[in-house]
């Protein structure tokens, strides 16, 4: 993460501390002088604090605009104090009181009271037996220096904490210690991640409404795809790597040329009730069709689109959590409302058969490269089934705290899942052949939203909720 991203991440919280301090200083000024002028600035500070802590996190893409608002609201009280300080002073509503209407904020913070008359000053100095003038002045300035130092420390604490957190993240990615091969940054939460078929590129997108493509070998950003109006929730490369499909919470799917970033097609999933949310997406192995799961309030279905012209092949009514294509792209395997696996003929759209999962309700489904086996994961158990008969070949129990997200390597040798512990988010890898746990390790301090294996099955890409995507070496 570069300096600008770092500043964008942490400056709102430091500004919030500064707002709190300045608001307290104005409150002290009011209590010291009993002039309501100081209270007139409290709404401005409250508005600045609201914008800082509420509006900016909800709208990170508006940072530049909000930053101008922050600076304006931050400087408004100071500029106001300077302005009133330069105005001619005059008596207040109290009779026979020649003090200025608006004392300078620095006078208040340095414990000077410009409201006192010369007679009051002479009487106070005559009656008191305190330190000499130069010592009293030194004491005031030392107190002011301490106040400024404390304020500076409070406003920089979050920055220092951010630097410390970055150091922890950097240490956590030490190649010798944890097996992290690459780390990528994204200015927001990352919802989905995918590798290109040749493994040279990795794409991820999320809360910034954009999708970024990075080169895995040299760790450089190739391009950024902008076009959605909401989170990018699903990403998939075509089998030949020429097209990148992105599905968003704005309920559209966009197809991009991976080499140029040009938009080829925009697909909208809608029915008579309006646009439908998209929860899952997958390419057929031949690259000719794109399957999308929609989950609306009334209409829940699987949509099959022809990639070449964006035409709708058919719509399969099904309550599904996940889907997968057979290697020959003729059959669609998905879950139904009863938690069973269904097989749909893509050519006719007919349901050919169903595998009873006995209430397991799989959340993710995979088909082996040879089409002979099917893997279904319920969040607690990984089922390996025979594709032709539906018989259970193996059941691998996934121990807590590991659950979702999860993935199977393309060579069907490894299974990985993520879980939350007190230390952070853990990753674990199991061997599918014997079902034994190979290794588990701390992958991040933040929640992983998605993970996937690289095409060579030698590394795992993990997308987290806090601006970071990492590629881990498979143990």
**φ and ψ at residue 42, rounded to 5 degrees:** -60, -45
CB contact at 8 A, 213 and 244: yes
Q: How far apart are CA 455 and CA 194, in angstroms?
A: 10
Q: Which two tokens stand for residue 28?
A: 């002290």
Length of the chain measured in residues: 475
Q: Is 81 left (phi over 0), alpha (psi -120 to 50) or beta?
A: alpha
Q: How far apart are CA 183 and CA 464, in angstroms?
A: 11
Q: pLDDT tens digits for the chain (475 residues)?
A: 444 444 455 555 555 666 666 666 666 666 666 666 566 666 666 665 665 555 555 444 444 555 555 555 555 555 555 554 455 544 444 444 444 455 555 555 544 555 544 444 445 445 444 445 555 555 655 565 566 556 556 555 555 555 555 555 554 444 444 678 888 888 888 999 999 999 999 999 998 899 999 999 888 899 999 989 888 999 999 999 999 999 998 888 999 999 999 999 999 887 655 566 788 899 999 999 999 988 765 567 888 999 999 898 888 877 788 899 999 999 999 988 788 899 999 988 888 999 988 878 888 999 999 999 999 998 889 999 999 898 999 999 998 888 888 999 999 999 999 988 777 788 999 999 989 999 888 887 778 889 999 999 999 999 987 778 889 988 7
Q: How far apart are CA 293 and CA 304, in angstroms?
A: 9
Q: What was the pLDDT predicted at 4?
A: 44
- Please classify residue 276 by burial: count the beta carbons closer than 10 Å to its beta carbon, then call 0-12 exposed, 13-18 middle and 19+ buried: buried
Q: How far apart are CA 143 and CA 111, in angstroms?
A: 9
Question: Which residue is listed with tokens 């922890």?
Answer: 168
CB contact at 8 A, 231 and 191: yes
> CB-based contacts of 198: which residues, under 8 Å, 6+ apart?
241, 455
CB contact at 8 A, 340 and 355: yes
Question: Which residue is listed with tokens 């450089």?
Answer: 220
Q: How far apart are CA 107 and CA 86, in angstroms?
A: 14
Q: How far apart are CA 251 and CA 153, in angstroms?
A: 46
Q: How far apart are CA 271 and CA 100, in angstroms?
A: 70
Question: Which residue is listed with tokens 């879950």?
Answer: 335
Q: What was the pLDDT predicted at 121?
A: 47
Q: What was the pLDDT predicted at 23?
A: 66
Q: How far apart are CA 78 and CA 287, in angstroms?
A: 62
Q: What was the pLDDT predicted at 412?
A: 94
In this structure, the strands spanning 289-295 and 278-283 are antiparallel
What is the full DSSP assignment across 270-315? EETTEE--EEEEEE-TTSSEEEEEEE-SS-EEEEEEETTT--EEEE
DSSP H or E segment with residue 151: helix 133-172
Q: How far apart are CA 378 and CA 363, in angstroms?
A: 5
> CB-based contacts of 130: which residues, under 8 Å, 6+ apart?
136
Q: What is the DSSP letter of 455?
A: T
- Sheet with 252-257: strands ordered across: 232-237, 243-248, 252-257, 263-268
Q: How far apart are CA 429 and CA 442, in angstroms?
A: 12
Instruction: Kindly report whether the global pTM for this prediction surpasses the value 0.85.
Output: no
Q: First vs last Cα of the chain: how many Å apart?
A: 27
Query: Which residue in 382, 384, 376, 377 sits closest to 397, CA to CA?
Result: 382
CB contact at 8 A, 419 and 425: yes
User: How is the chain split among helix, strand and coil, in percent rounded to 5?
Assistant: 30, 35, 35
């Amino acid at each position: 993460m570069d300096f600008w991203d770092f500043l964008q991440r942490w400056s709102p919280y430091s500004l919030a501390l500064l707002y709190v301090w300045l608001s307290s200083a104005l409150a002290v000024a009011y209590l010291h002088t009993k002039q309501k002028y100081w209270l007139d600035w409290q709404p401005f500070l409250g508005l600045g604090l609201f914008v800082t802590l509420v509006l900016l996190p909800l709208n990170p893409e508006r940072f530049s605009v909000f930053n101008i608002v922050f600076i304006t609201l931050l400087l408004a009280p100071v500029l106001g104090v300077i302005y009133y300080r330069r105005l001619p002073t005059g008596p207040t509503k109290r009779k026979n009181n020649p003090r200025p209407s608006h004392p300078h904020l620095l006078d208040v913070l340095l414990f000077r009271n410009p409201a006192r008359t010369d007679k009051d000053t002479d009487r106070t100095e005559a009656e008191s037996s305190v330190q000499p003038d130069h010592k009293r002045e030194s004491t005031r300035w030392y107190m002011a220096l301490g106040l400024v130092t404390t304020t500076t420390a409070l406003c920089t604490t979050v920055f220092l904490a951010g630097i410390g957190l970055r150091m922890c993240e950097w240490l956590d990615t030490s190649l010798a210690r944890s097996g992290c091969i690459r780390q990528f940054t994204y200015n927001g939460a990352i919802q989905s991640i995918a590798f290109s078929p040749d493994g040279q590129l990795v794409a991820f997108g999320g809360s910034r409404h954009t999708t970024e493509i990075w080169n895995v070998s040299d760790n450089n950003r190739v391009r950024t795809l902008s076009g959605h109006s909401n989170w990018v929730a699903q990403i998939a490369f075509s089998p030949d790597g020429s097209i990148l499909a992105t599905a968003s919470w704005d309920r559209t799917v966009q197809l991009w040329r991976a080499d140029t970033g040009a938009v080829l097609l925009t697909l909208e999933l809608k029915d008579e009730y309006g646009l439908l949310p998209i929860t899952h997406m997958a390419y057929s192995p031949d690259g000719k069709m794109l399957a999308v799961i929609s989950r609306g309030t009334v209409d829940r279905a699987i949509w099959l689109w022809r990639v070449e012209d964006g035409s709708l092949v058919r719509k399969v009514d099904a309550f599904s959590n996940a889907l997968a294509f057979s290697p020959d792209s003729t059959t669609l395997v998905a879950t139904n409302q009863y938690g069973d696996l269904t097989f749909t003929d893509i050519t006719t759209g007919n349901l050919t058969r169903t595998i009873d999962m006995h209430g397991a309700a799989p959340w993710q489904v995979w088909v082996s490269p040879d089409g002979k086996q099917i893997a279904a994961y319920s969040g607690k158990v990984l089922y390996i089934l025979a594709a032709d008969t539906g018989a259970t070949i193996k059941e691998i129990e996934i121990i807590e705290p590991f659950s979702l997200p999860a993935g199977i390597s393309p060579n069907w040798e490894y299974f990985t899942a993520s879980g939350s512990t007190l230390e952070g988010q853990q990753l674990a890898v199991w061997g599918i052949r014997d079902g034994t746990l190979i290794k588990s390790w701390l992958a991040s301090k933040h929640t992983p939203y998605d993970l996937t294996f690289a095409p060579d099955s030698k590394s795992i890409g993990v997308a987290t909720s806090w601006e970071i995507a990492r590629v881990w070496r498979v143990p």
